[in-house]
Amino acid sequence: MKTMRKGSLYQVVIPENWKNVTIDHILKNHWQAPKKLIHSMRMEKDIKVNGELLPWDKPLSPGDLLQITLFKEVDYDVPPSFGELHVLYEDDHLIVVNKPAGMDTHPNEPGDTDTLANLVAFHFQSKGESCRVMHIHRLDRDTSGAVIFAKHPLSKAILDRLLIERKVKRTYLALLQGRLKQKKGTISEPIGRDRHHNTRRRVSPSGQKAVTHYNVLEVRENMTLTEVVLDTGRTHQIRVHMSHIGHPLAGDTLYGGKPVVSRQALHASRISFPHPLSGERIECEAECLDDVGLSRGTF
């Protein structure tokens, strides 16, 4: 499928294997866009074919040029703030960045200006792009690693769906206290709120399903470096599950870890997902930017 950007337009050349498809079919079936967004695009006359407004149920032919007004100039929804931003991947539709530890993913209060989203807004501004800063997922303040942001509503809607469908694959590095007996394993325990502590979560029979897979990379002295993959994305999932099996994260004092490093030793090291528009597989590796032992041979 040949695609290109021209000003505010995202242009798609209808391929040979898309014979007799309609605008309606492409939005609802190919991209599975939400109804509200499709309605908005219809009302605002955002889609043309070969420069003309056509009925959305009219069959298109291979070679037709589908023109969608995707790149609209909008105000930043967070104030841009200058700072160093580590970009792992970027195109017209999304950006993947490496969040440092000690920084929130997005503002939690109206006056917050020192979050990852503020840095992304400044990055957009410096490139002359006027678009909202839309995170697809987030990391705890003291967890570092790869985070995806969408650049327009269609990209966000598709990426949100891919996340729900577990097609966004995230791999973490976690430094655990103690020596794990098993080289690999799966923790399948539901997680719910801790009634006695506002910010904590805990394993609870009435909680939400949570599945964590781990694989031991290195064991040195009384710590274990593990690679962790999640089937679910519950709040504090890795921290809760590792504490539950008696091996809290180093530095994670909220869940029983000892302050042997400067923060909870958790890093989102790899992320892969199908591109929301083209379907091409995107894979990003995020290097840990501080020294808490989250790479081989460093502790």
Whether 125 and 185 map to the same domain: the answer is no
With a cut of 60, say whether residue 82 has pLDDT above it: yes
> Tens of pLDDT along 223-282?
999 999 999 889 999 999 999 999 999 999 999 999 999 999 999 999 999 999 999 999
Q: Is residue 222 part of a domain?
A: yes
With a cut of 90, say whether residue 18 has pLDDT above it: no
Whether 40 and 116 map to the same domain: the answer is no
Q: The CATH number of the domain where 136 resides is what?
A: 3.30.2350.10
Return phi, psi of residue 121, to 5°: -60, -40
Whether 220 and 202 map to the same domain: the answer is yes
Domain that holds residue 109: 87-168
Burial of 84 (0-12, 13-18, 19+ CB in 10 A): exposed
Given the residues 57, 112, 114, 140, the one annotated as active site: 140
- Determine whether 140 is an active site residue: yes
Whether 199 and 240 map to the same domain: the answer is yes
Rounded-to-integer distance, Cα 197 and Cα 225, Å:
28
pTM of the model: 0.92
Q: What is the DSSP string of 18-43?
A: GTT--HHHIIIIIS---HHHHHHHHH
With a cut of 70, say whether residue 181 has pLDDT above it: yes
Whether 65 and 12 map to the same domain: the answer is yes
Q: What is the pLDDT of residue 296?
A: 58
Q: What pLDDT band is residue 77 in, cutting at 50, 70 and 90?
A: confident
Q: Is residue 109 part of a domain?
A: yes
With a cut of 80, say whether residue 299 has pLDDT above it: no
> Tens of pLDDT along 20-42?
899 999 999 999 999 999 999 99
Q: Is residue 278 part of a domain?
A: no
Please identify, among 168, 198, 231, the residue that sits at the C-terminal boundary of a domain: 168
Q: Is residue 91 part of a domain?
A: yes
Asked if residue 104 lies in contact with residue 112, where contact means CB atoms within 8 angstroms, the answer is yes
Q: The CATH number of the domain where 47 resides is what?
A: 3.10.290.10
Number of domains, the chain: 3
